[in-house]
Structure 1
Amino acid sequence: MKRFSMVHRLADASKKGFSLLELLVVISIIAILVGLSAVSYSTAQKKARDARRRGDMRAIQAAYEQYYADPVNSSAYPPNCSSSSITTYAPGGWPTDPQNSTSSGQVYTTSCDAAAFCFCSKLESGSGNSGAAADATCSGLGVADGNGAYPYFCVKNQQ
């Protein structure tokens, strides 16, 4: 009788775990979900950096327009793309790219003179507006990539 109960206990103990196949299926599903979430997270980060770049470009544009509107400046834009020209109008200073900042703080493409300006920033998503901003002021700044897309977001003078 003792022998039978010992065999019975061993048979019950072997049914308490998962089979190797069940474990492999679960691990595979988890790996797929982790992979998908990593891709989604990366895409969200790119969109967030692009949103900041667009905001930076609009902030620079607003500062230059305020400079132009100030009677002290005789309805002219700063003659160069210097950040020191707009410190009064852009207290945060010249923005840096959220991913590729440099020691000079300027990684944006610029073109400036007293009559006009154009600032462009390359977007990671590749869906900019530089095709619409292409004129004499922005000539050569927001150029198309090899696929005919315009990955640059550009702002130019409003006056």
Structure 2
Amino acid sequence: MNVTELLIKKKGFTLLELLVVMSVIGILLGISTISYSTAQARARDARRKGDLKYLQDAAEQYFSVCGYSYPYTTGTIPTAIFCTNPSVAVAPTVPKDPNATGYICTACSSSEYRICVALEQDATSYCVQNQQ
């Protein structure tokens, strides 16, 4: 058998070639997993900020329509925000934190409120408060 016949009959990959390809695939999977989890944390933080803006808008609407007081008391936000006189559903459903915990209202009374949430990506807090 000469060299050309050996090269033609050779089928398959060497062990070294397989290891190199598997290593490259492993590195790419590791990078994509890290990027995916970072993107998920950013998305949850964006949702938290949007939820707090919604709660702020609902509180300001409640303040204007329902007798110049805010619907929050210190502690957990209610599951819905209704005005009794006049009968108005300001926020029929109140969003929850993406980690399934409710948002907490600190320093809340009929004349003021402050709602904060911890962000995952920045390790900081994001807060909204009364505008009146």
Specify the TM-score bucket, using the shorter chain as the normaliser.
Answer: 0.7 to 0.9
TM-score after normalising by structure 2: 0.81
Q: Which residue of 2 aligns with 1:90?
A: 91
Q: Which residue of 2 aligns with 1:19?
A: 14
Q: Quick one: which amino acid aligns to residue 111 of structure 2?
A: A
For residues 1-159 of structure 1, the aligned pairs below 5 Å read 12-13=8-9, 15-70=10-65, 73-78=66-71, 80=73, 82-83=77-78, 86-87=81-82, 88-91=89-92, 93-99=93-99, 101-102=100-101, 106=102, 108-111=103-106, 112-126=108-122, 151-159=124-132
CA RMSD of aligned residues (A): 2.2
Structure 2, unaligned stretches of length 5 or more? 83-88
Helix, strand or coil at the partner of 1:41: helix
**After the TM superposition, which of the residue ranges 118-127 and 57-66 deviates more from structure 2?**
118-127
Give the Å deviation of 1:55. Answer: 0.6
C-alpha offsets along residues 54-86 of structure 1, whole Å, 9 cap, x if unaligned?
Answer: 01100000000000111xx22121252552662
Moved over 6 A (4+): 8-11
Distance in 2 between the 1:76 and 1:11 partners? 86
Over the matched positions of the two proteins, sequence identity in percent amounts to: 46
Structure 1, unaligned stretches of length 5 or more? 128-150
More strand by share: 2
Would you say how many aligned residue pairs link Structure 1 and Structure 2? 122
Helix, strand or coil at the partner of 1:89: strand
**Structure 1 residues 30, 59: CA separation in 2 closer, same or farther (over 3 Å shift)?**
same
Give the Å deviation of 1:10. Answer: 6.8
Distance in 2 between the 1:79 and 1:40 partners? 38
More relative contact order, 1 or 2 (CA 8 Å, 6+ apart): 2
Distance in 1 between the 2:72 and 2:22 partners? 62
